[in-house]
Structures are given as C-alpha cells and as structure tokens.
Structure 1
Amino acid sequence: MGKLIAYNFTTLNGYFKGPDNDISWHRHGEEESAFSADSLEAKATLLFGRVTYEMMASFWPTPAAIENMPEVAKGMNEAEKIVFSTTLESTDWENTTIIQEDLVEAVRKLKAIPGKVMTILGSGSIIAQLAEARLIDEYQFMIDPVAIGEGTPSFQGLTEKLDLKLVGHRVFKSGVVLLSYEVI
C-alpha cells in the first residue's frame, strides 16, 4: 500500500495562502530550503491541483529558481508530478502527468501501488477532498510566525472532524515550526 502525505505551510491563524494566492509571507530561508531539498530526495511523487501546479510550474523551471535555490529546483524539476485538473489540457513542465478523472478514485488507485509515496504540495481543495475520503496518511504543516487578515484556510471545505496525533516536530531558526501529524 502506498503512502500519501499532505505538506503545506500555513500562517498562525490557519491560512495556507492569502488573497490572490499570495504566499509571500512564507519564510523560506536557507534552513527551510535545505529541508525541502532533503524531502525531495525521498523521490515522492508530487500531487497538485491546477492552481498550485500552475504557480509551481511558472517558478521552478526558471533561471531565477535554479540560481536562488538550485537543489530545491533540481528536485522539483526532476520529480514525478501529477496535476489533477478537468481543464488543463497540456503542460511543459517535465515529468508531469495530467489526471482528469475523479480525484478520490485516482488517488485510491495510486495508493494501491506497493511502496508508492506521494506528497501533496499546497492544493488546499485537494487536501480537503482527500482528508474527507480518509486517504491522507500524514499531514505536515510548516507554520510561519505570521498572521494575515484574510486568506484560504488549510482545510476549507472539510465537513467532518479530523482527529490527528502529533508524530514529529522541528523548529527552524527563522521561527518556523514544522509539525507532523498522523490520523487517529
């Protein structure tokens, strides 16, 4: 059976993005970049919704990303990527597959592959849908020491209670805290 991890950074007041998909508040310093690069070495398949995918695809293959965060850019560009979208027809970002079928059924099929590890990056609506279907095995939240006035909650659309237990944590010098949870 495969494993599905949801990874997101969030504000203290629970938003994973601000108005107009703004994530400029996230503190992604040297230590956080090293963590990201190490995480990408695990070779998990990266899962995205269309909005997050388009944001990532517009940055990681660029010379600016490769110059400023070479190890993370290399990992992002080389990783197997799946974008769930009913409207996206094609993509130029290497190693990307578009899946237009039902999200929950597609992820169930992917999780049936022994040893398959997948990580959802961002993509709040996908996280909420897969949380509802009880398909996410681990949640990792990188909590930034910042609050913003409005934005999109990490579990927007969740209709059922989700009980979690803390299984790991890490404090970065920037004040960012990584919390890892499993479903109870």
Structure 2
Amino acid sequence: MSREIILYIAASVDGYIAEADGSIDFLGGGIELVEEDTSYQELMEKIDTVVMGRTTYDQVVNELSPDEYPYEEQMSYIITSHPDENTEKLMFTSQNPVELVQKLKKQEGKAIWIVGGASIIAPLVEAKLIDTYILTTIPKILGKGIPLFNEFNGPVALKVEQVYVKNDMVYTTYSNK
C-alpha cells in the first residue's frame, strides 16, 4: 500500500505563501473566525509524518509555536543543508525532497503532510508525487512575496474534488489525475 501525500497550505489570492520578507502575518491578520473550521484537525487525524524545509521549520519553532513544537506526535523530516541533531521524532536530512518522499511513500504508515516551503513543493509537484492538494485561499492580494509554486516543468493536471467557503476563505481540494 502506498501512503497518501498531502499538500495542505494557505496562499493569498495572487498565489503567495509568504510576504517578500518571509512573514506570514497576512494569514491571520484581520480575518474574523465566525464559523468553526475543522479542516486542520481532520488533516492531523490522517497523518503521522510531516515534511518541510528548514526555513519553514525555523518559522514554526521561532514564530508560530516557540513554546511547543506542534508536530510532536508526528515523525518530522526537515530538509536542510544545515542539519541539527536528530531526535526520535525529528530528522534533519539533506536528502532530495523527491527521493525522501518516494522512500517514505513505500513505508508503512498514515498519510504524509508536505508543510512547505516552495523549494520543497516544486520538485514534488513536478515529480507528480502529491496525491491531494488542499489549498486555502486567503482573501488578500499581496502584490509580491514568496510564490506557492516555484517554476517547474509542467503542466500537472489536477481534478477538483471539493470547494467550500468558511470565514471568507476558500478551501479547494484537488487530486492528482
């Protein structure tokens, strides 16, 4: 059995996952949460592994959740050219994202969440390794920033599985054809 690879990520209307300086303040600023959104909890129940780049990891541990690592229950793979010391659930690796995900996909386990960033996502999209794309569109236009998809050899055809709106954000789920 092959594990599902999920990209679950938010972007601005113009396709940026971070502002030009790397800030992600636009993700929460000024958005009123009126309706209950359980999409994150549903994702967390499906996965047992997260994969992210070093910049994303640093942002998680230094800005988003400095007091408690939010993925303590999951196996974390941090792709970096500057590895730290590994722990039981935290693996720093310089392995190519495609090779790493191909290896993980063959192992026993639940789904794998590709957390980000763009330099990790692009090669996985190009290799058609992402099975499910869950994109949350934040109702803001940044004008510039770090794009969701870096340049890669495409196209990659997707099928729209679901679209809904909650709290003025558009959630779109695509599957790899």
TM-score (norm 1): 0.82
Instruction: Choose the corresponding residue for 1:76, options 71, 77, 88.
Output: 71
2:10–2:137 contact (8 Å) kept in structure 1:
yes
Instruction: Give the deviation of 1:34 after TM superposition.
Output: 4.1
Q: Which amino acid aligns with 1:154?
A: L
- Secondary structure of the residue that 1:162 maps to in structure 2? coil
Instruction: Give the deviation of 1:159 after TM superposition.
Output: 2.3
> Structure 1 or 2: larger strand share?
2
> Which structure 2 segments of 5+ residues have no match?
none
Instruction: Choose the corresponding residue for 1:131, options 125, 141, 144.
Output: 125
1:125–1:157 contact (8 Å) kept in structure 2:
no
* Aligned: 1:8 with 2:1: no
Instruction: Give the deviation of 1:99 after TM superposition.
Output: 1.9
* Aligned: 1:22 with 2:23: yes
Instruction: Give the deviation of 1:163 after TM superposition.
Output: 1.2
- Residue 70 of structure 1 is matched in structure 2 by none
- Residue 53 of structure 1 is matched in structure 2 by 57
1:2–1:116 contact (8 Å) kept in structure 2:
yes
2:164–2:170 contact (8 Å) kept in structure 1:
yes
* Aligned: 1:90 with 2:91: no
TM-score (norm 2): 0.85
Separation in 2, partners of 1:32, 1:159: 38
Say if 1:169 and 1:51 are closer, same or farther in 2 by CA, change over 3 A. same
Instruction: Give the deviation of 1:98 after TM superposition.
Output: 1.2
Q: Which amino acid aligns with 1:178?
A: Y
Separation in 2, partners of 1:96, 1:18: 27
Q: Which amino acid aligns with 1:151?
A: G
| 1:28-70 deviation line (CA, Å, top 9, x unaligned) | 747576432332233331110110011112245534xx6xxxx
| 1:103-127 deviation line (CA, Å, top 9, x unaligned) | 2112111111244410011311111
> Which structure 1 segments of 5+ residues have no match?
67-72
Separation in 1, partners of 2:63, 2:48: 20
Pairs aligned (count):
173
The alignment's C-alpha RMSD in Å is 2.4
Say if 1:32 and 1:107 are closer, same or farther in 2 by CA, change over 3 A. farther
Say if 1:140 and 1:98 are closer, same or farther in 2 by CA, change over 3 A. same
2:5–2:113 contact (8 Å) kept in structure 1:
yes
> Structure 1 or 2: larger helix share?
1
2:55–2:117 contact (8 Å) kept in structure 1:
yes
Instruction: Give the deviation of 1:78 after TM superposition.
Output: 2.5
- Residue 149 of structure 2 is matched in structure 1 by 155
Separation in 2, partners of 1:38, 1:30: 19
- Secondary structure of the residue that 2:92 maps to in structure 1? strand
Q: Which amino acid aligns with 2:5?
A: L
